[in-house]
Amino acid sequence: MAECCPCGSGKPYASCCEPIILGAVAPDAEAVMRSRYCAYVLGHWRYLRESWHPDTRPASVSPTNTAWIGLTIVRATTDSVEFIAGFREDGKIMALHEISRFARVDSHWRYRDGKCDIREAGRNSACPCGSGLKSKRCCARPQANNSRQGA
């Protein structure tokens, strides 16, 4: 069975985000958002930098000690994507809620910028991995600390 894409689409990685990470043109802003999430999960730092809009692109993108645990797309329009990305950092389960803006550059969608809010996931809040469970019954459980990593 093919490996599921980390973006949460339910599709195999090889036919979902991998082609975009390897240079295929993304059909829309949501596809770029999903591929950027996968790039963070899988460590494709060069792609992350390349997928940034030239006007806002950082000089470099470096590895972090963040363990990404899930992506939920809240809403997508032609040039923006609202999403929640769950991650584990320093033993805490966190949720990054962002509205990202994208623009086309030479037929490729590029990440311009975003407004984000980062908070620790409360024990009784929905787990930011997207499982539908409360955080305390999912990724915040001590035995769950490695089971959903990169999910």
* Domains in the chain: ranges and CATH: 13-144 (3.10.450.50)
In tens digits, the chain (151 residues) has pLDDT values of 579 999 999 999 999 999 999 999 999 999 999 999 999 999 999 999 999 999 999 999 988 889 999 999 999 999 999 999 999 988 899 999 999 999 999 999 999 999 999 999 988 989 999 889 999 899 988 755 544 444 4
All residues at 6 or more sequence positions from 25 whose CB lies less than 8 Å from its CB, including other chains: 107, 108
Task: Please give the C-alpha separations between residue 144 and each of 64, 68, 151, in angstroms, as whole numbers.
Answer: 21, 13, 12
Q: What is the pLDDT of residue 115?
A: 97
**Is the pTM for the entire model greater than 0.75?**
yes
Q: What local confidence, expressed as pLDDT, does residue 35 receive?
A: 98
Query: Could you tell me how many helices (H) and strands (E) the chain has, helices first?
Result: 3, 4
Burial label for 68, CB within 10 Å (0-12, 13-18, 19+), is buried
Contact 47, 38 (CB under 8 A): no
At 108, the amino acid letter reads H
Burial of 143 (0-12, 13-18, 19+ CB in 10 A): exposed
